[in-house]
Chain A
Amino acid sequence: DVKVTQSSRYLVKRTGEKVFLECVQDMDHENMFWYRQDPGLGLRLIYFSYDVKMKEKGDIPEGYSVSREKKERFSLILESASTNQTSMYLCASSYAQGAQGLFGPGTRLTVT
């Protein structure tokens, strides 16, 4: 059963901490995406990657960075967590550009 997995379902961090959110897919997908989802705002694209070591900024990259050293893994990094980064974070992947997207279950991050 193909899937996208995220390292944690729930995470609580303190302001100023460096936070790593991990996403792994086992489908040899080329493309991977990170979103945050907030009530009333839908999903907002943070970063995406079309290949290993490649990254593209989405609509809200400020305060975030990403790493894709291996094809199957796409990491989202909060360099210095702030309370306004409290959100649900969703990872997705797709086989190629224009292909169907598959989502992970999400990580609910709380920054206190």
Chain B
Amino acid sequence: KQEVTQIPAALSVPEGENLVLNCSFTDSAIYNLQWFRQDPGKGLTSLLLIQSSQREQTSGRLNASLDKSSGRSTLYIAASQPGDSATYLCAVGNDMRFGAGTRLTVKP
């Protein structure tokens, strides 16, 4: 059974900081990994999808990396803004097993 862990559970940073969110998984035989964002009371929005053959994906200020051999992915957010405040979740594999998420607060 795939186990997905996200650390830290919560993070608070001042505006403008660069930050890294972590996702680890136990079964490295995966086809892909996705990062999602969830705002309070809302559904999930897909941010980045990394296929197993890729090492990273970028979208604007977001960069996600994947290291299958070590069972790790990171989501890097550059120059954080208050609008980035949300819960960030990673989902691993075709059947999208999720971690518990990291709740990010960016203070003005």
Contacts and interface: CB of A to CB of B under 8 A. Distances in A.
Contacts of A101: 34, 36, 44, 46, 91, 96
A18 B10 CA distance: 37
Interface stretch (B11-19, B74-82, B98-106): B98-106
A40 B95 CA distance: 21
Contacts, number: 58
Given A41-B100, A100-B49, A105 B42 contact: yes
Nearest to A99: B49
Nearest to A44: B98
A44 B100 CA distance: 9
A66 interface: no
A43 B89 contact: yes
B95 A58 contact: yes
Interface of B: 1, 6, 31-32, 34, 36, 42-46, 49, 51, 89, 91, 94-101
Interface in A64-112: 90, 92, 94, 97-106
Given A42-B101, A100-B46, A92 B96 contact: yes
A39 B49 CA distance: 25
A103 B1 contact: no
Nearest to A58: B95
6 contacts: A43-B44, A45-B97, A48-B95, A94-B96, A103-B43, A103-B46
Contacts of A43: 44, 89, 91, 98
A36 to B, nearest CB: 11
